[in-house]
């Protein structure tokens, strides 16, 4: 698709960075994008995304060209008609899991019946919770889901206000280290991947530059794979978290497969079905079609090869 | 400026305060308005001033019958109504136009006349009742209005200061030939100052008596003729009070 | 006392009513006209918005058309969730408002009246005043957990500050002359506050109430971040998390409507209780 | 006019100064005493908090001890980031405050003064007043992107409402008697507003300013959700997203301190410009 | 109640308003305070009332020299100072204790005496200047205070109403044997009411003359002796004004 490149080049390229996307931090930190695009007189601006929903707001309002989100979040936005597409997977994170206090007596999802579970509605941990419950055959209405922001869910767990928490890194890593919280249910495949999304308009007008950004991301990804220690230090430094926490968080990120493909499509479709069942995504949305419209592997395939 | 009231009435919430007041004042005339408390003197003054335009009837000022405030009219209210955030001097210059220096100079002259020189920088809350009233008098007189409405301007003043200010008023009147309507409770004052005295009575207030004082000015305070006039007015007032109190 | 005053007021009203039938008709007409004038702006706004949405100027994933929003709200009304959201939020705001008002009246009167109390409390209160609602969230969860108390208290915090500020300044602005009248009649400090200072600073107090109520509605979002499963703030945040623009806008519209209604009640109270003011009629 | 008034004021001050040397010393002493009284509560609070943290009542991953917070702030001061955060936030609040005040003064005067303007604008404004700051975020991003303008405007929105409300009520509360004085001297409507209504409603206006400034600080968080990379609100949200309790609390403390300082400035202005009020001395 | 002022002085921002005022009043005496505007009459009254306690010197009320408000003291201020949020009736009952019905009944009696029956439900903004002043008078008298401080209570009233209220004051005084201090600018009034007249003069105000009026009550207004007294006082006042205006 990139062969149909247009003559014009953008005046600036607006990237986002996010603490949940270590790759973006590395890229920003080393200034590789500025270096590359300075040759062409293109300005690079960085915007911090504080969460998937912010990144999507930025994308939808034409405030950034590239935005990092969780896969499910991108799907939800796409389902309302947002003109974005996913062109790259910045990592396969296991950023969410079910967490409980060490002496709570909870060791499986079965034990959650009738208990209070904190989660942030509409975010990856929430989807993770629903999918896990479904996978283990526990009905969602058998547990009491308490809507709390990620950090507050952690606090509520520690103070005993809730019995379990669908946690998110780095909060989760931190709790593990500091109060000995336990991850009693993990499933990396129920996480919905780190999506690098681009605005459709930008992709259409400047396909080459999408490729260039993917190249840059690849450079950063390779660096992380080669320098895990430094990467952890960098994450800790940038995000202002403990090195130990950063290490734990990075360990749970799999940077091996950046090209969107079947696995990702399947994961997103599964997540989408759960969301549709929970009436988060409207019933009249065709999940598979939306997913296919969202995920566009062509750029990454072209840059990286299969 | 000539001033004419034709059948002016004013009703508040269905209760009539004054009824069918008709007064004609020649340019340069001083009209006194006497009457018991609550009979509607201030109401008439407010109607003339244009501040109140819910009255019935017609008021024409130099032939203009529009219900609006004329900026050639000066009004000394029954209360001092000083602006509490301005010191005395700025209160007096409030209505003046022109350069600051001119305004200050004029204001100081008048403050001197009302016996308040040296008090220019005091704020209203630092004034005694009579001082505040005198500032209000200076504020109104300093603009040399062509029509001057005075609502018991000297009631808060001691006998001597009062006389001084009555003479000041006559000075201003002499210089600018203002048409003056003066509400007062002091019959001596009315006799000393006015060309014509109108006595209101009753509730609603109506015109009871009109007295023309022909005496030349300056008049002697407490002369024989005056005493005679005074007796007449007192008679009218008593009657009228007895009436309003029993009703 | 209160009964008596309302008695008096009703006497006044009826005596007026009898005498001014034509005025009343005029008033009704005026009321209608006022409502019509007030509707112009919202109607224009909504029409323009609808048009722009129709021609696609606002894409629906950003700002759905008013009709869509309306359908969303109607949908919620039909499946019954709407009343739950509105009910629980209104209850929280009301409870928080009452709590916050009480606290503000007590502390405000103390600070306005006693120099020592001012020196002791005021600096601290003024410092707390600029802490954003979101900042309180983790602390409130820590101190009070995630039940209703923490939510209501959070709203009370929001309500407190403007009322406090207006009370203190209202008290300071009460005319010394009137306070002296009270002192002359041997009123105790408490009586002085109740019989002179409160009525005299009523205009300021009522503005404080209205300001405070507005802030109460604003603090709802922070309050309902603390483990709510219902409410307008909950709706808003969930809408944002789930990229549902129509939910977001619907909750905004609901905030506006209910906020306006609650303010309208206070405004009525204001007009009623300040009828004695010697105002210029506009 | 303004120049003149300040001249007068200074005359007043110096003439007083000469005559009251002993009073001045007394005042200084009183100022000191007042500061000391004002510090009691914060000191007690911090001490108790430190103690509770030391004995482990508050686990550090939830509520770090004051000393830890202090170190965090000192650390930020040393590596220089602190000034960036404070600077940019203060700038935004200041700009938003100025904007919001201007808008509130214009609209408030119109609405307070003209019945038609009231009927036209007021209902709408009152409805908007209860929309939470967070709700505006997506709309502002949509309309204005994520640059400084949207942030400053967001803060201006917060500042606007209390000022507007106080101005309108202040104008309504101006004594008819004084307005009549202005009318008698043939003042135009604009002059009437400037020379009578504004000074007379100044107490109310100043409370509005202080309330508005407080709200400005609160709206910073929402403003800095719109793509900021610096600022106290940013610090707070990052702290929450990144599980850094010491950053959260540090930002709260900074909000409190700077908010208090900015309010202190307004309070000084208030005391200065209301010296003419006939208040009861406490 | 007896009342004694010893060397009372009051200084505002370094400027002395009154200096070394010493007055002794027997229980049941009516003392008149005369003087030019701004000489410190209201200041003295405020000191006696206890509202102002920044004066120097000593004031003892029945031997009590504490600087505090005694609730047996009634004060009619120079302005009406009605509470704008209360209708006339509630303004009058303001200082009363007891059951509502009793209070209302008493208040209505006094409102009748000051010529305001039927106006119970009006709010202060609906009153004329003189009516407001009369409400203030009723509010103070209805509490039957043992010490009564009056600051130009009748200045806003017409001649007839004024006389009626002077008699009302004498009635109250007769019944309760109050000790009264009356500030007035009306020399006739002072002569009609007072046992002793104290003339202040100058700025700062000092006691200039003290005049004891031995005449029995009820006195005839405008008798020969009165005219003689009046001349004396006018002399003192003129002198004193000439002095203060040139300074
Ligand atoms: N609060 C104050 N601050 C400063 N000066 C004051 C204050 N109150 C009164 N004064 C001054 O004290 C002097 C006496 O005032 P006071 O009110 O006692 O006069 P008065 O004799 O009652 O006059 P009047 O007959 O005009 O009411 C005046 O010069 C006045 O300026
Ligand atoms: N705003 C108002 N609302 C209702 N009634 C009013 C209003 N203003 C005046 N009145 C009534 O109108 C009548 C006349 O009042 P006005 O003030 O004209 O009296 P006045 O002759 O000036 O008396 P005074 O000598 O006491 O000042 C009074 O009975 C008063 O109650
Ligand atoms: Mg009058
Ligand atoms: Mg006086």
Condensed to tens digits (0 to 9), the pLDDT of residues D154-176 reads 999 999 999 999 999 888 888 88
A56 pLDDT band, cuts 50/70/90, is confident
Cα of B38 from ligand 3 centre, angstroms? 7
> Does one domain contain both C39 and C138?
no
Query: Domains of chain E, with CATH numbers?
Result: 3-82+147-245 (3.40.50.300)
Q: Would residue C279 count as lying in a domain?
A: no
Query: How far apart are alpha carbons B149 and C13 in whole angstroms?
Result: 34
Nearest C-alpha neighbor of C210 from the set C267, C257, C134: C267
Give residue D210's pLDDT.
92
Mutate to test the pocket of ligand 2, among E88, E120, E131 (most ligand atoms within 8 A of CB): E131
Last residue in a domain, options C35, C58, C81: C58
- Does D189 reach chain B within 8 Å, measured CB to CB? no
> Does one domain contain both C143 and C249?
yes
Question: CB C277 to CB E84 under 8 A?
Answer: yes
Strand ranges (E), A139-219:
144-147, 164-168, 182-185, 194-199
The fraction of chain B above a pLDDT of 70, given in percent, is 96
Query: How far apart are alpha carbons E190 and E33 in whole angstroms?
Result: 8
* Backbone angles phi and psi of B164, in degrees to 5: -55, -45
The fraction of chain A above a pLDDT of 70, given in percent, is 97
Q: Which helix (H) or strand (E) holds B31?
A: strand B30-34
Q: Which residue of C has its CA nearest to B54?
A: C281
Q: Would residue C252 count as lying in a domain?
A: yes
Sheet holding E3-12, edge to edge: E15-25, E3-12, E56-61
CA distances from D172 to A188, B45, C275, D79, D202 (A): 64, 25, 11, 52, 12
Query: How far apart are alpha carbons C1 and C195 in whole angstroms?
Result: 10
Residues 6+ apart with CB under 8 A from D32: none
> Does one domain contain both D159 and D242?
yes
CB A127 within 8 A of CB A72: yes
Give residue D166's pLDDT.
92
Give residue A7's pLDDT.
53
Cα of E184 from ligand 4 centre, angstroms? 9
| Arithmetic mean of pLDDT, D173-182 | 90
Domain count, chain D: 2
Does residue D71 have a pLDDT over 80? yes
Q: What is the pLDDT of residues C78-113, one digit of tens each?
A: 988 899 999 999 999 999 999 999 999 999 988 988
DSSP string, C106-125: HHHHHHHH-HHHHHHHHHHH
Nearest C-alpha neighbor of A65 from the set A15, A18, A127: A15
Q: Is E127 in the pocket of ligand 2 (CB under 6 A)?
A: yes
Q: Would residue C281 count as lying in a domain?
A: no
D282 pLDDT band, cuts 50/70/90, is low
CA distances from C235 to C226, C248, D21, D130 (A): 13, 7, 63, 15
> Does one domain contain both C83 and C40?
no
Q: What is the pLDDT of residues C177-229, one digit of tens each?
A: 999 999 999 888 888 888 998 899 898 899 999 999 999 999 999 998 888 88
Query: Residue E77: its chain C contacts at CB < 8 A?
Result: 177, 180-181
> Does one domain contain both D240 and D192?
yes
Question: CB D141 to CB A178 under 8 A?
Answer: no
Question: CB E90 to CB C185 under 8 A?
Answer: no
Please, what is the Cα angle at A128 between A122 and A130, to 5 degrees? Answer: 80
CA distances from D26 to D21, D29, D30, D33, D268 (A): 9, 5, 6, 10, 19
Q: Would residue D280 count as lying in a domain?
A: no
Please, what is the Cα angle at E97 between E93 and E98, to 5 degrees? Answer: 110
Give residue D18's pLDDT.
42
Q: What is the CA radius of gyration of chain E?
A: 18
Give residue C139's pLDDT.
86
Give residue A127's pLDDT.
85
Helix (H, G, I), strand (E, B) or coil at A194: strand
Question: CB E73 to CB C8 under 8 A?
Answer: no
Give residue C58's pLDDT.
80
Sign of CA dihedral D24, D29, D34, D39: positive
> Does one domain contain both D139 and D235?
yes
Give residue A306's pLDDT.
55
ipTM above 0.90, yes or no: no
Query: Residue A81: its chain C contacts at CB < 8 A?
Result: 59-61
Query: How far apart are alpha carbons C122 and C138 in whole angstroms?
Result: 25
Sheet holding A164-168, edge to edge: A144-147, A116-119, A164-168, A96-100, A182-185
Domain that holds residue C258: 66-273
Sign of CA dihedral E111, E115, E119, E125: negative
Q: Would residue D13 count as lying in a domain?
A: yes
Last residue in a domain, options C58, C75, C103: C58
Give residue A191's pLDDT.
85
Give residue E239's pLDDT.
53
| CATH code for the domain in which residue C74 is found | 1.10.3720.10
- Does D16 reach chain E within 8 Å, measured CB to CB? yes
CA distances from A276 to A108, A122, B37, E232 (A): 25, 11, 82, 105
Q: How many helices (H) and strands (E) does chain B have?
A: 7, 9
Residues 6+ apart with CB under 8 A from A305: none
Helix (H, G, I), strand (E, B) or coil at E59: strand
> Does one domain contain both D124 and D147?
yes
Give residue C101's pLDDT.
95
Q: What is the pLDDT of residues C252-263, one digit of tens each?
A: 999 999 999 999
Mean pLDDT across chain B:
88
Residues 6+ apart with CB under 8 A from A179: A101, A158, D59, D61
| Arithmetic mean of pLDDT, E137-157 | 92
Q: What is the pLDDT of residues A269-301, one digit of tens each?
A: 888 888 888 778 888 888 888 888 888 888 888
Q: Which of D12, D13, D15, D184 to mutate to test the interface with B (most CBs of B within 10 A)?
A: D184
Give residue C25's pLDDT.
61
> Does one domain contain both D25 and D149?
no
Sheet holding E179-183, edge to edge: E73-76, E147-151, E179-183, E30-34, E196-201, E206-212
Sign of CA dihedral C85, C89, C91, C92: positive
Query: How far apart are alpha carbons D155 and D148 in whole angstroms?
Result: 11
> Does one domain contain both C5 and C43?
yes
**Partner-chain residue, chosen from B75, B87, B100, that has the shortest CB–CB distance to D184:** B75
* Backbone angles phi and psi of D85, in degrees to 5: -60, -50
| Arithmetic mean of pLDDT, B124-147 | 92
Q: Would residue D279 count as lying in a domain?
A: no
Q: Would residue D16 count as lying in a domain?
A: yes
Helix (H, G, I), strand (E, B) or coil at A164: strand
Query: How far apart are alpha carbons B12 and B38 in whole angstroms?
Result: 13
Does residue B138 have a pLDDT over 70? yes
B42 pLDDT band, cuts 50/70/90, is very high
> Does one domain contain both C124 and C254?
yes
Last residue in a domain, options D17, D33, D58: D58
Does residue C20 have a pLDDT over 90? no
> Does one domain contain both D112 and D246?
yes
Query: How far apart are alpha carbons C194 and C192 in whole angstroms?
Result: 6
CB B104 within 8 A of CB B93: yes
Query: Residue E124: its chain C contacts at CB < 8 A?
Result: 276
Query: Residue D240: its chain A contacts at CB < 8 A?
Result: 149, 151
Q: Which tokens sit at C206? A: 């009522």
> Does one domain contain both D94 and D140?
yes
Q: What is the pLDDT of residues A156-165, one digit of tens each?
A: 888 888 889 9
**Ranges A204-208, B156-160, D31-35: which has the least confidence:** D31-35
Cα of B127 from ligand 1 centre, angstroms? 5
Q: Which tokens sit at D141? A: 């991003």
Query: How far apart are alpha carbons B71 and B63 in whole angstroms?
Result: 15
CB E91 within 8 A of CB E135: yes
| Arithmetic mean of pLDDT, A140-166 | 86
**Ranges B64-68, B146-150, B173-177, B222-226: which has the least confidence:** B222-226
Strand ranges (E), E62-100:
73-76
Q: Would residue D278 count as lying in a domain?
A: no
Give residue C278's pLDDT.
78
Query: How far apart are alpha carbons A137 and A159 in whole angstroms?
Result: 29
Question: CB E161 to CB B35 under 8 A?
Answer: no
């Amino acid at each position: 698709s990139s062969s149909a490149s247009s003559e014009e080049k953008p005046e600036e390229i607006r990237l986002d960075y996010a603490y949940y996307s270590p790759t973006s931090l590395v890229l920003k930190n080393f200034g590789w994008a500025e270096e590359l695009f300075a040759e062409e007189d293109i300005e690079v601006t960085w915007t911090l995304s504080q969460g998937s929903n912010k990144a999507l707001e930025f994308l939808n309002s034409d405030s950034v060209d590239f935005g990092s989100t969780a896969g499910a979040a991108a799907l939800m936005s796409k389902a309302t008609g947002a003109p974005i597409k996913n062109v790259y997977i910045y990592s396969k994170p296991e950023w969410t899991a079910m967490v409980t206090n060490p002496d709570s007596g909870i060791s499986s999802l079965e034990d959650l019946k009738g208990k209070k579970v904190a989660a942030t509605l509409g975010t990856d941990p929430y989807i993770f919770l629903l999918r896990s419950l479904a996978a283990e055959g526990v009905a969602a209405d058998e547990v009491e889901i308490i809507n709390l922001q990620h950090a507050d869910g952690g606090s509520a767990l520690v103070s005993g206000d809730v019995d379990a928490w669908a946690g998110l890194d780095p909060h989760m890593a931190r709790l593990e280290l500091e109060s000995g919280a336990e991850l009693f249910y993990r499933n990396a495949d129920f996480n919905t991947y780190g999506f690098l999304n681009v605005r459709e308009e930008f992709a259409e007008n400047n396909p080459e530059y999408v490729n260039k950004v993917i190249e840059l991301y690849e450079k950063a990804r390779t660096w992380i794979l080669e320098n895990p220690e430094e990467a952890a230090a960098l994450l800790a430094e940038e995000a202002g978290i403990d090195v130990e926490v950063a290490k734990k968080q990075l360990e749970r990120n799999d940077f091996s497969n950046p090209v969107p493909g079947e696995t990702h499509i399947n994961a997103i479709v599964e997540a989408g079905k759960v969301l549709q069942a929970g009436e988060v995504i409207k019933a009249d949305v065709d999940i598979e079609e939306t997913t296919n419209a969202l995920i566009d592997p062509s750029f990454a395939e072209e840059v990286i090869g299969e | 400026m000539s001033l004419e009231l034709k059948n002016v009435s004013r009703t508040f919430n269905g209760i009539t305060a004054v009824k069918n007041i008709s007064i004609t004042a020649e340019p340069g005339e001083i009209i006194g308005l006497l009457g018991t408390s609550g009979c509607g003197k201030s109401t008439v003054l407010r109607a003339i001033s244009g501040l109140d335009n819910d009255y019935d009837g017609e008021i024409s000022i130099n032939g203009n019958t529009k219900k609006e405030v004329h900026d050639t009219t000066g009004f000394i209210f029954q209360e001092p109504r000083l602006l509490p955030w301005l010191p005395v001097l700025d209160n007096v210059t409030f209505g003046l136009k022109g350069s600051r220096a001119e305004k200050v100079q004029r204001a100081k002259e008048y403050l001197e006349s009302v016996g308040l020189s040296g008090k220019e920088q005091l704020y209203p809350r630092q004034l005694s009742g009579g001082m505040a009233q005198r500032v209000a008098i200076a504020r109104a007189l300093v603009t040399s209005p062509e029509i001057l409405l005075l609502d018991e301007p000297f009631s808060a003043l001691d006998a001597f200061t009062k006389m001084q200010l009555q003479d000041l008023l006559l000075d201003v009147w002499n210089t600018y030939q203002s048409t003056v309507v003066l509400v007062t409770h002091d019959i001596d004052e009315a006799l000393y100052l006015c060309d014509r005295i109108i006595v209101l009575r009753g509730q609603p207030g109506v015109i009871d008596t009109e007295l023309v004082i022909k005496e030349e000015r300056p008049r002697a305070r407490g002369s024989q003729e005056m005493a005679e006039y005074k007796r007449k007015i007192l008679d009218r007032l008593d009657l009228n009070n007895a009436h309003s109190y029993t009703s | 006392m209160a009964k008596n005053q309302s008695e008096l007021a009703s006497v006044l009203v009826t005596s007026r009513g009898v005498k001014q039938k034509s005025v009343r008709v005029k008033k009704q007409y005026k009321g209608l006209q006022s409502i019509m004038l007030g509707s112009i702006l919202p109607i224009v706004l909504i029409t323009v918005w609808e048009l722009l949405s129709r021609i696609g100027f606002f894409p629906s994933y950003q700002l759905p058309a008013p009709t869509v929003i309306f359908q969303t709200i109607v949908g919620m009304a039909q499946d019954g969730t709407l009343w739950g959201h509105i009910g629980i939020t209104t209850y929280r705001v009301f409870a928080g408002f009452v709590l916050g008002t009480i606290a503000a009246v007590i502390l405000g009167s103390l600070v306005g009246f006693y120099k020592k109390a001012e020196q002791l409390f005021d600096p601290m209160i003024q410092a707390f005043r600029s802490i954003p609602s979101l900042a309180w969230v983790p602390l409130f969860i820590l101190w009070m957990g995630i039940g209703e108390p923490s939510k209501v208290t959070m709203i009370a915090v929001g309500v407190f500050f403007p009322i406090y500020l207006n009370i203190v300044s209202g008290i300071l602005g009460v005319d010394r002359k009137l306070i002296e009248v009270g002192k002359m009649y041997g009123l105790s400090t408490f009586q002085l506050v109740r019989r002179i200072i409160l009525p005299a600073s009523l205009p300021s107090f009522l503005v404080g109430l209205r300001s405070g109520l507005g802030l109460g509605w604003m603090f709802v979002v922070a309050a309902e971040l603390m483990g709510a499963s219902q409410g307008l703030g909950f709706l808003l945040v969930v809408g944002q998390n789930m990229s549902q623009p129509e939910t977001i806008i619907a909750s905004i519209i609901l905030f506006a409507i209910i906020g306006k209604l609650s303010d309208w009640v206070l405004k009525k109270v204001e007009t009623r209780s300040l009828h004695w003011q010697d105002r210029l009629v506009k």
